[in-house]
């Protein structure tokens, strides 16, 4: 269990750093304080892990019809969802969230490529159990 803590903290930090950089680049995206930034990064990670796959599944025909470009809309919706849940996180419009989500994704991949170096030690591993899928 604890061997996943370091990769989790690394990914959380990368997301927080990307959100912070996006808030300085986009006028319509702002945080009232550091705690709202850290909570937003944590909730964005949870939303991307839990809500986003469900939305992708539900909108699969539209995603296929747009050749995957609808995924950018889903990313923007994830940022708007987190902004509605966190008190100190404000997003002015859908388009701000849209372009900020592209920036955040690219910056996270860029930073992550330097920090994690692609080593499996920094990947979050799923538990290997003897459970069966029905």
Query: Consecutive sets of 10 residues in the chain, 134 residues long: mean pLDDT of each?
Result: 78 94 96 95 93 93 94 95 95 97 94 74 56 52
Rounded Cα gap, residues 43 and 4, in angstroms: 18
Q: Are 75 and 102 in contact (CB under 8 A)?
A: yes
Helix axes 94-115, 70-85, angle to 10 degrees: 100
Q: Which pLDDT does position 130 carry in this prediction? A: 54
First to last CA, the chain: 25
Tell me the residue length of the chain: 134
């Amino acid at each position: 269990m604890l061997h996943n803590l370091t990769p989790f903290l690394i990914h959380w930090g990368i997301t927080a750093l990307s959100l912070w950089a996006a808030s300085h680049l986009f006028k319509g995206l702002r945080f009232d304080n550091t705690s709202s930034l850290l909570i937003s990064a944590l909730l964005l990670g949870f939303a991307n892990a839990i809500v986003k796959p469900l939305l992708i599944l539900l909108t699969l025909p539209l995603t296929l019809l747009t050749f995957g470009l609808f995924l950018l809309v889903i990313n923007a919706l994830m940022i708007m969802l987190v902004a509605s849940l966190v008190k100190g996180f404000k997003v002015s419009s859908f388009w701000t969230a849209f372009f900020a989500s592209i920036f955040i994704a690219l910056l996270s991949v860029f930073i992550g490529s330097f920090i994690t170096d692609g080593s499996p030690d920094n990947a979050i591993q799923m538990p290997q159990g003897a459970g069966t899928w029905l």
